């Protein structure tokens, strides 16, 4: 049987300098990704991180002087003015850092494992940390700080159904949500429906992604649903807006897998539209771009200026232009 060559992908991850530059990832293989900066004025593209690093989960610092990323489980911070990134080693052991967001130039919050479960932490770039939320036998995931409030997903088992996982969207105070504070409040119950990637736009509104309990490698596509959660009066409501399908081989082990898994394919909210990709309407299961209009409640396919072979990933807005990535060399920048 002939060996399959690795599929390459390219996609934008951040906008720099008031829209004059774009940071993008070039995935050369399932174990090798590199970070580039593209100057839109000069059309110059330059690698800005040594190839020894695999920069997953990139986040710009609030003052745009640098960025953070996770490399083989370690948090690193890279200044644009320095050649090498700084590794942040913490005074207490945590691992599997994810869903990291910066509060200011020196502190951030995230979900990470300290023992057998995921908890929420505030991290500082000199290596100290503070546990924000920790629950025995429960996972706390995908934190979102909005003003003085902290929202997150709780994943747990119940005494009545010990073999099933249950998912809740929770809310508590920030930064006073320590182990001695009032317990967090359940605001939206998804019961045994798995959810991930919580995104809050205000203390009264957010979005969350539903996924299946397992990803079946025998199924050519994997279904996701995007939910709107909103508070009206004193009550929270949830509403499924749209669904989309992703080729399963992009998510599971194999030469076509994305190094960052679902991250390049997450729906992106821009003004009153939610941009997403879907493969279900293409006979070859190729991802194509769409947007869901929050005002009209309708989904519309985006007509690309040029059609080439390969997947298209979720676009990013820079100035007034949408920039997409996808299968290399299919790059619609």
In residues, how long is the chain?
Answer: 333
pLDDT of residue 176: 65
**Residues 153 and 115: beta-carbon distance below 8 Å:** no
Position with higher pLDDT, 330 vs 108 = 108
Chain segment 275-316, per-residue pLDDT in tens: 999 998 878 899 999 999 999 999 999 988 776 679 999 999
Chain segment 186-207, per-residue pLDDT in tens: 999 999 999 999 999 999 999 9
Say what the pTM is.
0.93
7 pLDDT above the threshold of 70: yes
pLDDT of residue 5: 64
List the beta strands (DSSP E) in 125-281. 129-133, 138-146, 149-157, 165-173, 185-191, 195-202, 205-211, 221-232, 235-247, 268-270, 273-278
Percent of the chain with pLDDT over 70: 93
Percent of the chain with pLDDT over 90: 81
Sign for the CA dihedral angle at 43, 49, 50, 52 comes to negative
pLDDT of residue 73: 87
Q: How confident is the model at residue 91 (pLDDT cuts 50, 70, 90)?
A: confident
Q: What is the distance between the alpha carbons of residues 272 and 49, in angstroms, rounded to a whole number?
A: 35
Match 């979720």 to its residue by tokens.
Answer: 314
DSSP 292-331: EETTTTEEEEPPPSS--SS-BPPPEEETTEEE--EETT--
159 pLDDT above the threshold of 80: no
Structure tokens at 282: 């293409």
Helix (H, G, I), strand (E, B) or coil at 76: strand
Task: Tell me the mean pLDDT in the region 133-162.
Answer: 90
Q: What is the distance between the alpha carbons of residues 304 and 312, in angstroms, rounded to a whole number?
A: 10
pLDDT of residue 2: 41
Tell me how far apart the terminal alpha carbons of the chain are, to the nearest angstrom: 36
The CA dihedral of 195, 250, 294, 233, to the nearest 10 degrees, is 10
Query: Before 329, cis peptide (omega within 30)?
Result: yes
Q: What is the distance between the alpha carbons of residues 225 and 215, in angstroms, rounded to a whole number?
A: 14
Chain segment 253-281, per-residue pLDDT in tens: 789 999 999 999 999 999 999 999 999 88
Helix (H, G, I), strand (E, B) or coil at 277: strand
pLDDT of residue 1: 35
**Residues 92 and 130: beta-carbon distance below 8 Å:** no
Task: Tell me the mean pLDDT in the region 115-139.
Answer: 93
pLDDT of residue 138: 94
Containing 71, the helix (H) or strand (E) segment is strand 66-71
What CA–CA distances, in Å, run from 95 to 63, 244, 304, 317, 322? 26, 31, 41, 33, 35
Residues in CB range of 205: below 8 A, 6 or more apart: 228, 229, 230, 231
**Residues 38 and 20: beta-carbon distance below 8 Å:** no
Chain segment 99-118, per-residue pLDDT in tens: 999 999 999 999 999 888 99
Residues in CB range of 138: below 8 A, 6 or more apart: 117, 154, 155, 156
**Among the listed ranges 62-71, 95-104, 244-253, 324-333, which one has the minimum average pLDDT value?**
324-333
182 pLDDT above the threshold of 80: no
181 pLDDT above the threshold of 80: no
Mean pLDDT rounded to a whole number for the chain: 92
DSSP 19: G
217 pLDDT above the threshold of 60: yes
């Amino acid at each position: 049987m002939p060996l399959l060559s690795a599929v390459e992908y390219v996609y934008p991850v951040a906008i720099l300098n008031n829209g004059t530059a774009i940071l993008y990832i070039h995935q050369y293989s399932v174990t090798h990704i590199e970070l580039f900066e593209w100057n839109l004025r000069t059309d110059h593209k330059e690698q800005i991180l040594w190839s020894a690093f695999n920069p997953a989960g990139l986040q710009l610092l609030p003052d745009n002087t640098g960025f953070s990323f996770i490399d083989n489980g370690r948090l690193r911070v890279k200044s644009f003015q320095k050649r090498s990134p700084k590794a942040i080693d913490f005074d207490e052991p945590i691992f599997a850092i994810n869903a990291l967001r910066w509060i200011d130039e020196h502190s951030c919050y995230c979900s990470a494992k300290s023992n057998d479960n995921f908890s929420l932490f505030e991290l500082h770039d000199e290596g100290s940390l503070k546990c924000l939320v920790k629950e025995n036998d429960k996972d706390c995931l995908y934190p979102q700080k909005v003003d003085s409030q902290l929202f997150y997903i709780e994943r747990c088992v119940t005494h009545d159904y010990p073999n099933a996982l249950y998912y809740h969207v929770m809310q508590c105070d920030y930064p006073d949500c320590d182990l001695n504070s009032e317990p967090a409040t359940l605001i939206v119950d998804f019961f045994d429906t798995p959810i991930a990637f919580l995104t809050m736009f205000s203390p009264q509104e957010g979005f969350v992604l539903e996924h299946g309990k397992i990803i079946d490698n025998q199924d050519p596509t994997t279904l996701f649903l995007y939910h709107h959660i909103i508070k009206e009066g004193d009550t929270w409501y949830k509403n499924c807006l749209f669904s989309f399908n992703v080729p399963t081989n992009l998510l599971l082990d194999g030469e076509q897998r994305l190094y960052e898994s679902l991250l390049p394919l997450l729906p992106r909210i821009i003004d009153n539209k939610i941009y997403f990709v879907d493969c279900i309407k293409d006979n070859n299961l190729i991802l194509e771009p769409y947007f869901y209009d929050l005002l009209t409640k309708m989904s519309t396919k985006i007509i690309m200026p040029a059609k080439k072979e390969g997947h298209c990933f979720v676009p990013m807005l820079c100035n007034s232009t949408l920039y997409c990535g996808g299968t290399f060399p299919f790059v619609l920048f």
